[in-house]
Amino acid sequence: MVWSGIAAAVIATAGAILISRFLARPFANLARAIQHLANGRFQDAQIPDDRDTKIREVGELLSGFRTMAERLRLQHEDLEAQVSERTRALEQQTQEAQATAALLRAQEAIQRGYGELAALLNSLDRSFVLGEGIRKIAATLDAPLAAVYLTGDGPAGLRLKTYAAVDSGMIETSLLSPAGLPQEVARRGEPVVLSLAPGAGSLALRTGVGVLEAASVVGLPLHYQDRFVGVLVVATLHPLSEHARNFLNDAARQLSVALNNAALFESVRYQAQQLETLNAELKRASEVKSDFLASMSHELRTPLNSIIGFTELMLTSTRDTLSDRQRTALDRVRESGRHLLGLINEVLDLSKIEAGRMDVRAEAFALLPLVRECLGAVEPQAQAKGLTVRATGLEGVPEIVQDRGKVKQILINLLSNAVKFTDQGSVELRVERSDAAFVSIAVADSGIGISLDDQAVIFGAFQQVASATTRTRGGTGLGLAISRRLAELMGGTLAVESTLGQGSTFTLRLPTRRGPQAAAEAIEEPKGSAGAPRVLVIDDDRDVATIVRQAVADEPLTVEWAANAVDGLARLRAHRPVVILLDVMLQGHDDGWDVLGTLKTDPATREIPVVVHSVIDNPQRARRLGADEVLVKPAPPARIRALLRRYVDGSPREAARESV
């Protein structure tokens, strides 16, 4: 019984040993392998060999598991390969995105720098343009060096003008000296780009942080239109991108324009200073001339009046004791004295008009008695030549309000000229009323006539028809100039119509009344003129605006009047005119020349065409100050109308050129 128990125990123990060897141990090893597989440690997952087990089913299990583990390993390796590839692609995309972002940031920085550069280059200060402009170019490209070379007396006509970031001593001894790269750029006339090899030491830049080696140097010519201005040179630590090169090309163009504008501004400022000095000298000369004429007129007229007076006294008191020869001599002395006195008076009148010191004293007077006085003054001269002098159109002529003395002076001059240049026939004075606001007085003769070429100059001072016939008749050439300017001072016009060999007709056209009320009535804007192009007349004589308004009565224009500079500037700010008619002889403290200078230097008004409309005939000075056109008063209404029509319908500059 005992032995049977022992045998059973031995058998059980042997069975346990066999089970542990052939079943439990393989499963334990398999469990460890499964744990390694679960942790992804395929190299540590040792699958028990199915040949080590005597149990077929266990062997099959181990073989199937080994196959599964191998597949898992292969799938894991394939997955890792895919993950690595995708990781590399993602890293590449990230790098590309970062590079694109960096490029965009660089482009934005360049665009921002270009905008700031353009704002800086709007300055007209040459030193500011060069200094701040070159610093902004260097800062925009993060360039350690930027320099500008301008035309001068150095090699190839170039000299270093300004630079940024490095000392000039280093520039002078490198390829950036004026005789180096800048000269080559000037010779080619196009950009030159140098790519420098790393470590070659071709351009070592000494800066405050040490020595930096440039990787790229670009030189760009500075051109304004077809004129070479200089060279812009920039050195960078990295090769230039296409965007950076475009920036440099644009910067070079802007810098060229800015340098040209600054040079023009300096030239204009210098000319303005010269003109200011010249104006001061002219004013002083005018004052000296006026003082001289005032003094000389007294010194000359006093003895002349004595000569004329004593001569007339001798002719009347000693008539019976004088021989014919003596009487003839005294007559010549008297007439020569009167002629010289008249010449002095004419010169003084012209001087007063040009200096703006000729006053107009309006008074009411009847025209008929004045005409008879004028006819009586020239009657002896006409009778001596056998000419008939008559007047027509005097019926119903009302009183006019004008300067009687000046009207008489004009008419006597016109009648005297008509008699002087007419050898046979007649001289006629005609009074005509074209409308209630104006009266016209025409003096017609049957004399030698005036050619079209001479008609354009006879109203100038000291101008006469250039012919042998006129030279024998004498005269100073001042009468018509003074008459026309006196007519203009009174708000009128003096015009001529003539055919050579068939006589001439001079027409004086005057407003019948002077004064604020009459002027206001004459200048009143027509109904429906709102929105029409505006013409601004700056003149201390409101009648001038009346004349302009009458000249363009049939045109869709609004004529505004300003009596002084302050009123004129206020009006043009309120309503921008298409053209300004400016009298340079303004009364008071206003100087018309100064007003013209102000209009042409102020950016807000310099593009508005200005026509100098004055009795002073000085086109050179007017054009130097910027006037577009010069009209010597009194300009014929037809010419005023044609000129203003061109300014309204066409190009103002073309209108000015056509009128020159």
The reported pLDDT for the residue numbered 428 is 93
Task: Give me the phi and psi of 421, to 5 degrees please.
Answer: -100, 15
Largest CA distance in the chain: 215
State how many domains the chain has.
Answer: 4
Q: What's the pLDDT score for residue 407? A: 92
For residue 545, the 8-state DSSP code is H
First-to-last CA distance in the chain? Answer: 156
Give the bridge partners for 505, in sequence order. 444, 497
And the tokens for 147? Answer: 């320099």
Q: Is residue 658 part of a domain?
A: no
Residue 12: inside a domain, yes or no? no
CATH number, residue 252: 3.30.450.40
| C-beta separation of 133 from 146 below 8 A | no
Give the end of a domain, one of 122, 154, 187.
Answer: 122
Same domain, 330 and 377: no
Q: Is residue 228 part of a domain?
A: yes
**DSSP conformation letters of 476-497:** -S-HHHHHHHHHHHTT-EEEEE
Q: Are 230 and 151 in contact (CB under 8 A)?
A: yes
- Report yes or no on 2 lying in a domain: no
pLDDT value of position 154: 47
Residue 264 within any structural domain of the chain = yes
* Residue 66, domain member (yes or no): yes
- Which residue type sits at 529? S
Q: Please name the amino acid found at residue 525.
A: E
pLDDT at 490: 86
Whether 330 and 391 share a structural domain? no
AA letter at 91? E
Do 158 and 281 share a domain, yes or no?
Answer: yes
- For the chain, which residues score pLDDT lower than 50? 153-155, 168, 208-209, 466-473, 515-528, 589, 651-660
DSSP structural state of residue 656: H
Tokens of 517: 């009320």
With residues binned 3-state (H G I as helix, E B as strand, rest as coil), the percentages for the chain, rounded to 5, are 55, 15, 25
24 shares its domain with 138: no
The tokens of 611 are what? 């026509």
Lookup: tokens for 328:
């003839």
Residue after which a domain boundary falls, among 105, 122, 139? 122
The tally of CA atoms less than 13 A away on the side-chain side of residue 435 is: 6
Residue 322: domain span: 125-357
Q: Which of 122, 140, 169 is the last residue of a domain?
A: 122
Q: Which residues contact 241 (CB under 8 A, 6 or more apart)?
A: 103, 106
**Beta strands 388-392 and 426-435, pairing class:** parallel
Residues in contact with 43: Cβ distance below 8 Å, sequence separation at least 6, in sequence order: none
283 and 156 in one domain? yes
| Domain identity same for 569 and 620 | yes
The whole-angstrom separation of Cα 53 and Cα 393 is 156
Distance of CA 566 to the CA centre of its chain: 23
- Same domain for 416 and 507, yes or no, is yes
Does residue 147 sit within a domain? yes
Q: Are residues 363 and 353 in the same domain?
A: no
Per-residue buried b or exposed e for 247-282, using 16+ beta carbons within 10 Å of the residue's own CB? bbeebbebbbbbbbbbeeeeeeeeeeeebeeebeee
Instruction: Please check whether residues 471 and 343 belong to one and the same domain.
Output: no
206 and 310 fall within a common domain:
yes
Same domain, 456 and 489: yes
Contacts 24+ apart (CB under 8 A), 305-310: 305/341, 307/333, 307/337, 308/334, 308/337, 308/338, 308/341
What CATH number is associated with residue 621? 3.40.50.2300
C-alpha dist (Å) from residue 648 to 31, 255, 493, 534, 630: 106, 37, 24, 9, 17
* Structural domain contains residue 573: yes
Could you tell me if 396 and 489 lie in one domain? yes
Amino acid 377: pLDDT: 84
Q: Which residues contact 345 (CB under 8 A, 6 or more apart)?
A: none
